[in-house]
Structure 1
Amino acid sequence: MPHRGPKKQKFPHHPRTRKTSALKYVGHGTDQERAALLERLPDAFVSVDPHWQFTYINRQVEALVGKGREELLGRNVWDIFPIPADSLLYRNAHKAMDMQTTLEFTQFHPLLNKWFALRLYPFQDGLYTFCQDITERKHAEELLQVPAKTFWDVNKSMIVTDLQGKIIYWNEGASRLFGYTAEEMLGQTPALLYPELEKDQLAIDLEQIRKGKDYTGHWQGRRKDGTRLPLLASVSIIKDSSEKIIGAIAANREIREREESTAVESDNHLL
């Protein structure tokens, strides 16, 4: 009888952690197309499996945490970013995963020293997280002393300028209305939005606002794609805690065709 070597010991098979997620529930098309979409997102995007291991990380996450995806994929999120079990993020993440419910909230992360707006979406194989850095927004809230529920309403177009007329805050509502991102508009003057408004007139309006004069009326704007944009606009001054004027806030709403036909033209102009 031929000699046989010792019988090989069988070990339990552990599937290797995937470096990328199939992302079955994100968009349509091929995996590469979905991944390309996630890489273009302005928000940080993370996907974890039921064991809290990273399965997908976009470039925004790499920039945010200062780590490459090869350092994170397959690692446990709570090992990389240990936070107390009673923290809002930890509790909500587990609630979303366990109860298969969508959650949205804001959270300060002490390790990164940043404020974030988070949206959690459970799916069959884990949890998707969209994360937006709102640290500057929080700082602006504290500086400008404006009620957050009024000032940061993302359903409205809200634009804040300083005393030099430079845009220092641009919300999601403004992006939807005008077509520009915050990155494109921060530091710009509102003149870009209102090409029909002469610079001399803009300077006059800014001076009136500096003196404490609020404005509400109809005026013409223009979207990024060049289309005409009739608006109902309201502009108010912003004061700090010592009552010193430090800027202006503009709330804008598109006027529909019927409203526009009955609108009374104003001699005033908006920012």
Structure 2
Amino acid sequence: MSVKSNHENDTSFPVAWRLNDVLEAMPGAIYTTDAKGLITFFNTAAADLWGVKPQLGKSEFCGSWRLFSPNGDPLPHRECPLAITLKEQRPLKGQEIVVERPDGTRVRLHSYPSPIFAANGKLLGAVNTLVDLSEQTMADESSARHNAIVESSDDAIIAKDLNGTITNWNLGAQHLFGYTADEIVGKSVTVLIPSDRTDEEPAILQRIRNGERIEHYETVRRRKDGSLVEISLSVSPIRNREGHIIGAAKIARDITERRKAEKQKDLLLREMDHRIKNLFALANGVITLSARSTTTAAELACMVTARMNALAKAHSLTVSREGSSEQPTTLHTLIKTIIAPYAGGPDNAESRASVIGSDITISGSAVTSFALLLHELATNAAKYGALSSAEGKLDIACQQIGEMFTLEWNESNGPSIAQPPATSGFGTMLAKATVRGQLRGEIIHDWKPEGLSIKLIFNGAGTNSHSPLT
């Protein structure tokens, strides 16, 4: 819009003085020039925007230190919007320029120059209004960052109005639920809700209308393919500039893996609790039974230590290399591990003992029971039987026929046996508990003069997960 001067119509109160007061009081940056583009007036807001005060009657077209176009190219003052307005004698609306202050900071702004004409149509000059875009720039940058964060988020971020209609849908939501934004925006959020949970949405919307936030609400939603997914849901009200609630923003996070991890953790804790209880029970049993065959604390300590070491060796056979899970082992491997300390020197640990025949897989509690049983047999052979003499030998033969498994323990070349022992020791009681109780088998002792023979007979479907050995 052109501005006409009527200086000649008011001699009592100068229009220029009155106009300058008005312009100075304006919060926006305003300045004027003559027809040649020399600055004739600027208000404080303009000087603050430029960071410098131009010289009246000398500075041309714009009071800024330097000017640039929006793309960053230098812009000569004679080519700025106000210069074009004077040249073409027409107003320009909202052309964007960048001013540089003497301290090097730059400010984006819109320029609104208009020509000023006298009553006779003569060009007197121009007036320019500068609008600082700094806040808008920050808002645009903030909005861009916000949008980038929303789109790059692995979580599903969804906006809906107070009727439950989806208005925004990010890539995280697409990955989680399977719908693209084009497929789902404009539809009701109830398409994601299973039929048995339809009462949840009205309750959520009511809480949002009341201005409440919903934090980490765990529920189930339905994907595009019909599958269900467990999610953790956070919902917040969306307000307009007046503070009125106009919708809700939802963040949904897939908690399927977390639930699996929690279940696995619970399972491990229960298993740990079970094993610790079993360990204490086993230790208590070893101490109790060992005490029956010892007379001094030193003997008890020595015997308990030896038996616990045998269990530790057996346990090491069943732990994976990573130490993270229990693995089955074989009976032959367990036998060789237990008897090795008694069967010979370190260079030829099995020179006085042999294990031949069929082999079976054992795991679980059977490993512990067999380890204790074999330890007792090996210890007795080392104390009183074939392994107590340099010439003694131990032959162990295994045979499987169908599901029945037989283990024969034969000692020879040891001390002569005059008669069977009068009392039953730990080994005998343990053998009965293991073979008859757990394996539902039989154990037969034959006290031959040339050496002890033991036959174990039990159900040997060792590779079957339902076998009593597993």
Q: Same fold (TM over 0.5)?
A: no
Structure of larger gyration radius? 2
State TM-score, norm by structure 1.
0.40
